[in-house]
Structure 1
Amino acid sequence: MPLAIVRAGPADLDDLALLFDAYRQFYGQPADLARAREWLRSRLRLGEAVALLARRDGAAVGFAQLYPIFSSVRTARLWVLNDLYVAADARRSGVGRTLLDSAAAFARSDGAAGIALETARDNAAARALYRAAGWREDATQWYSLDFAAGVH
């Protein structure tokens, strides 16, 4: 079963939205396919994100979504691998690793200085995948203000 990774475009939006909705549900959000589709459509149309779609025998089985950021200190573009999801029936078959490698190849070809991601410390499966793919963990501390939660 050959696996193909493509940069998602308008023709891929319906398949991508199904996976994105499942991804959001995985993280405790309610199912909302229309919201997922509109979010993706806007990000891709405005050039605010790049989505890589994994297809096996034509079926969409996973995706990675990257957002650009910029480092003032490095005076360079970086990419954040914000979303990575593989459908449950396609896990442990190399889809996640292929998406990671494809995301890194995309960032390199874009001339970026690097690529970063963040995941929960208790997400052992994801952390093992990232380490196996050559990613390294660091001690950077992220802080946030959650405006929806009424903080500041």
Structure 2
Amino acid sequence: MSDDSVPAGALRITTCDTEETLAAAGVLFSHYRRHYGQPPDTSERTIGWLTEMAQSNMLMIFTASVESPAGTPPIGLATSHAVPASLVMGRFWQLRDLFVLPGSRRQGAAVALVSAVRDAAQTAGATRLSLVTEPDNEAALSLYRGLGFRPVGGLASLSLDLA
């Protein structure tokens, strides 16, 4: 849309599990990776990776599109996955990636995507939905807090590079 506006209620959320939907998600995923400083790569590599993750049930992939008679490419992407929750002998879900094209932000796509992930997690019996974001990403923190997410105190985030 030329004016970057999304009419209220005009978003469609799609769970990506077909070749067509994963190809559309791949375009957004490439934008997302470039946004975080990763070099562009071939769409075949991106779509192959997303397809592998979706088919192995390692990631659930969702896109948000603006409803239109002609159909439009997606404007937003979210990925999530289930994680074993040992202490409660259940599982929780983690929201891994959330990205909305810059010209389509603050129009409801991010809220719709997080809501779709939350609903899928609840349907799957998850005990909670978690996420990690940079401490200086005020826009994301504001969005997540507005959706009910709360900081987790008393934990340290550690990583071991295996590459």
> 1:50 pairs with 48, 57, 60, which one?
60
Counterparts of 1:49 and 1:25, CA distance in 2: 20
1:134 equivalent to 2:144? Answer no
1:64 equivalent to 2:112? Answer no
1:123 equivalent to 2:137? Answer yes
Counterparts of 1:35 and 1:80, CA distance in 2: 24
Q: Which amino acid aligns with 1:51?
A: I
> 1:89 pairs with 103, 119, 125, which one?
103
Counterparts of 2:146 and 2:65, CA distance in 1: 22
Q: Which amino acid aligns with 1:78?
A: F
Counterparts of 1:106 and 1:89, CA distance in 2: 27
> 2:46 pairs with 14, 17, 36, which one?
36
Equivalent in the alignment of 1:4: 12
Pairwise CA distance, 1:131: 0.5
1:18 equivalent to 2:32? Answer no
Counterparts of 2:35 and 2:60, CA distance in 1: 21
Equivalent in the alignment of 1:145: 160
Q: Which amino acid aligns with 1:15?
A: A
CA RMSD across the alignment: 1.1
Counterparts of 1:142 and 1:95, CA distance in 2: 29
Counterparts of 1:128 and 1:24, CA distance in 2: 22
Q: Secondary structure at the match of 1:131?
A: helix
Q: Secondary structure at the match of 2:113?
A: helix
Runs (5+) with no aligned partner, structure 1? none
Pairwise CA distance, 1:64: 0.8
Q: Percent identity?
A: 32
Q: Secondary structure at the match of 2:88?
A: coil
| TM-score computed with the length of structure 1 as normaliser | 0.93
Counterparts of 1:15 and 1:90, CA distance in 2: 16
**Moved segments of 4+, more than 4 Å:** none
Equivalent in the alignment of 2:87: 73
